[in-house]
């Protein structure tokens, strides 16, 4: 290998290394400017949906609890009827 070939190879490696650095910087910029805000927005939406679901379940449970307290015999009869029907279904 000649000195000129070695220098050309070295310069080519240096240029490739420089180009890789530029590409890395571009990817980091894209991640910062585009991807991170979208992921943050998606996380916020998921958090809001989870909060709404939790509140809905809490409200439903409170509603059922109040109905059971208002009509305990009806609740017992309903639970017994549902248990009887499930027993009949699963026996087959």
For 36-87, the pLDDT digits (tens) are 888 899 999 999 999 999 999 999 999 999 999 999 999 999 999 999 999 9
Q: Angle 80-73-86 (CA atoms, 0-180°, nearest 5)? A: 10
Whole-angstrom Cα distance, residue 59 to residue 53? 10
Q: What are phi and psi of 51, to 5 degrees?
A: -65, -45
For the chain, give the number of residues: 92
List the structure tokens of 11: 């310069």
Q: How many structural domains are present in the chain?
A: 1
**pLDDT over 80 (residue 9):** no
DSSP at 66: H
**Which pLDDT score is estimated for 81?**
95
DSSP at 12: H
**pLDDT over 70 (residue 1):** no
Domain that holds residue 74: 3-91
Orientation angle between helical segments 72-91 and 36-70, nearest 10 degrees: 110
List the structure tokens of 25: 């910087």
């Amino acid at each position: 290998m000649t000195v000129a070939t070695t220098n050309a190879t070295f310069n080519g490696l240096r240029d490739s290394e420089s180009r890789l650095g530029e590409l890395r910087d571009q990817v980091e910029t894209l991640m910062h400017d585009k991807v991170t805000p979208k992921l943050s927005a998606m996380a916020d939406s998921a958090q809001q949906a989870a909060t709404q679901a939790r509140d809905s379940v809490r409200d439903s449970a409170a509603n059922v609890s109040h109905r059971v307290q208002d009509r305990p015999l009806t609740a017992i009869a309903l639970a017994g009827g549902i248990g009887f029907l499930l027993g009949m279904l699963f026996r087959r």
